[in-house]
Protein backbone atom coordinates (compact mmCIF):
# COMPACT_ATOMS: atom_id res chain seq x y z
CA UNK A 1 0.00 0.00 0.00
CA UNK A 2 1.21 3.48 -0.84
CA UNK A 3 1.53 5.78 2.15
CA UNK A 4 0.02 8.67 0.15
CA UNK A 5 -2.75 9.27 -2.35
CA UNK A 6 -3.29 12.55 -4.25
CA UNK A 7 -6.81 13.56 -5.32
CA UNK A 8 -8.59 16.54 -6.86
CA UNK A 9 -11.54 16.04 -4.52
CA UNK A 10 -12.55 13.33 -2.06
CA UNK A 11 -15.43 11.26 -3.45
CA UNK A 12 -18.33 10.43 -1.14
CA UNK A 13 -17.54 6.71 -1.35
CA UNK A 14 -13.82 7.16 -0.65
CA UNK A 15 -12.33 4.40 1.50
CA UNK A 16 -9.93 5.82 4.10
CA UNK A 17 -6.97 3.62 5.03
CA UNK A 18 -4.91 3.65 8.21
CA UNK A 19 -1.38 5.07 7.82
CA UNK A 20 -2.14 6.56 4.40
CA UNK A 21 -1.98 10.32 3.82
CA UNK A 22 -4.65 11.81 1.58
CA UNK A 23 -3.62 15.02 -0.19
CA UNK A 24 -6.12 17.24 -1.99
CA UNK A 25 -5.42 20.44 -3.94
CA UNK A 26 -8.67 22.38 -3.81
CA UNK A 27 -9.54 26.08 -4.24
CA UNK A 28 -5.93 27.17 -3.66
CA UNK A 29 -5.53 25.00 -0.56
CA UNK A 30 -3.13 22.10 -0.05
CA UNK A 31 -5.02 19.75 2.28
CA UNK A 32 -3.41 16.72 3.93
CA UNK A 33 -5.16 14.22 6.23
CA UNK A 34 -3.93 11.01 7.84
CA UNK A 35 -5.07 8.56 10.50
CA UNK A 36 -2.47 6.34 12.20
CA UNK A 37 -2.93 3.57 14.69
CA UNK A 38 0.40 3.58 16.49
CA UNK A 39 2.11 3.68 19.88
CA UNK A 40 2.49 7.47 20.06
CA UNK A 41 1.57 10.77 18.52
CA UNK A 42 5.22 11.39 17.65
CA UNK A 43 5.32 8.25 15.50
CA UNK A 44 2.12 9.36 13.75
CA UNK A 45 3.57 12.83 13.13
CA UNK A 46 6.75 11.32 11.70
CA UNK A 47 4.70 9.15 9.33
CA UNK A 48 2.58 12.13 8.29
CA UNK A 49 5.55 14.36 7.40
CA UNK A 50 7.36 11.51 5.66
CA UNK A 51 4.30 11.01 3.45
CA UNK A 52 3.80 14.77 2.87
CA UNK A 53 7.29 16.33 2.57
CA UNK A 54 5.86 19.54 1.09
CA UNK A 55 4.79 20.47 4.62
CA UNK A 56 8.21 19.85 6.20
CA UNK A 57 8.49 23.43 7.49
CA UNK A 58 5.53 22.72 9.83
CA UNK A 59 7.17 19.66 11.37
CA UNK A 60 9.06 21.16 14.30
CA UNK A 61 6.18 23.14 15.79
CA UNK A 62 3.68 20.35 15.22
CA UNK A 63 5.81 17.73 16.97
CA UNK A 64 6.04 20.04 19.98
CA UNK A 65 2.29 20.51 19.84
CA UNK A 66 1.83 16.75 19.37
CA UNK A 67 2.72 16.29 23.01
CA UNK A 68 -0.60 17.98 23.77
CA UNK A 69 -2.98 15.68 21.93
CA UNK A 70 -6.26 17.12 20.71
CA UNK A 71 -4.59 20.33 19.58
CA UNK A 72 -6.11 22.64 16.97
CA UNK A 73 -4.77 25.78 15.39
CA UNK A 74 -5.63 28.27 12.66
CA UNK A 75 -5.20 31.90 11.74
CA UNK A 76 -8.83 32.70 10.87
CA UNK A 77 -8.89 35.49 13.46
CA UNK A 78 -6.39 38.33 13.65
CA UNK A 79 -4.84 39.60 16.90
CA UNK A 80 -7.47 42.34 17.21
CA UNK A 81 -10.28 39.77 17.01
CA UNK A 82 -11.31 40.60 13.45
CA UNK A 83 -11.69 38.00 10.71
CA UNK A 84 -8.52 37.33 8.72
CA UNK A 85 -9.35 38.14 5.05
CA UNK A 86 -6.68 35.71 3.81
CA UNK A 87 -6.39 32.78 6.23
CA UNK A 88 -3.33 30.67 5.54
CA UNK A 89 -3.60 27.50 7.63
CA UNK A 90 -5.74 25.24 9.79
CA UNK A 91 -4.66 22.04 11.48
CA UNK A 92 -5.54 19.50 14.13
CA UNK A 93 -3.97 16.58 15.94
CA UNK A 94 -6.37 14.35 17.85
CA UNK A 95 -6.24 10.97 19.53
CA UNK A 96 -8.80 8.29 20.32
CA UNK A 97 -8.26 5.19 22.44
CA UNK A 98 -5.50 7.11 24.23
CA UNK A 99 -5.42 4.59 27.08
CA UNK A 100 -4.99 1.59 24.76
CA UNK A 101 -1.73 0.06 23.60
CA UNK A 102 -2.17 1.45 20.08
CA UNK A 103 -4.14 4.68 20.07
CA UNK A 104 -5.45 6.17 16.84
CA UNK A 105 -4.02 9.57 15.94
CA UNK A 106 -5.80 11.80 13.41
CA UNK A 107 -3.86 14.64 11.78
CA UNK A 108 -4.73 17.22 9.22
CA UNK A 109 -2.93 20.28 7.97
CA UNK A 110 -4.46 22.57 5.36
CA UNK A 111 -2.31 25.35 3.92
CA UNK A 112 -3.50 28.17 1.66
CA UNK A 113 -0.87 28.12 -1.07
CA UNK A 114 -1.39 31.78 -2.10
CA UNK A 115 -1.34 33.19 1.41
CA UNK A 116 1.73 31.20 2.44
CA UNK A 117 3.69 31.96 -0.74
CA UNK A 118 3.84 28.31 -1.79
CA UNK A 119 5.08 25.23 -0.04
CA UNK A 120 8.53 23.79 0.72
How high is the pLDDT of residue 46? 87
- What is the per-residue pLDDT across 47-91, written as a single tens digit (0 to 9) for each? 999 999 988 888 776 655 555 566 777 888 888 989 988 888 888
Angle at 98 between CA 60 and CA 64, to 5 degrees: 15
- What is the per-residue pLDDT across 2-20, written as a single tens digit (0 to 9) for each? 789 999 888 899 998 999 9
Does residue 119 belong to any structural domain of this protein? no
Does residue 45 belong to any structural domain of this protein? yes
Burial, 51: exposed, middle or buried (Cβ in 10 Å; 0-12, 13-18, 19+)? buried
User: Which residue range(s) make up the domain with 15?
Assistant: 4-111
pTM for the complete prediction? 0.80
Burial, 120: exposed, middle or buried (Cβ in 10 Å; 0-12, 13-18, 19+)? exposed
How many independent structural domains does the chain possess?
1
How high is the pLDDT of residue 23? 95
Does residue 117 belong to any structural domain of this protein? no
Does residue 116 belong to any structural domain of this protein? no
How high is the pLDDT of residue 118? 58
Confidence band, pLDDT 50/70/90 cuts, at residue 32: very high
- Is the confidence at residue 100, as pLDDT, over 80? no
Does residue 118 belong to any structural domain of this protein? no
Does residue 53 belong to any structural domain of this protein? yes
* Cβ–Cβ under 8 Å, residues 71 and 87: no
How high is the pLDDT of residue 22? 94
Amino acid sequence: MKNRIDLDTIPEDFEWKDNQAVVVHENGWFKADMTCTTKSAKVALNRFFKAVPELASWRESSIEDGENINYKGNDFTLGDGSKNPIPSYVWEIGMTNAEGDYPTVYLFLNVNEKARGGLD
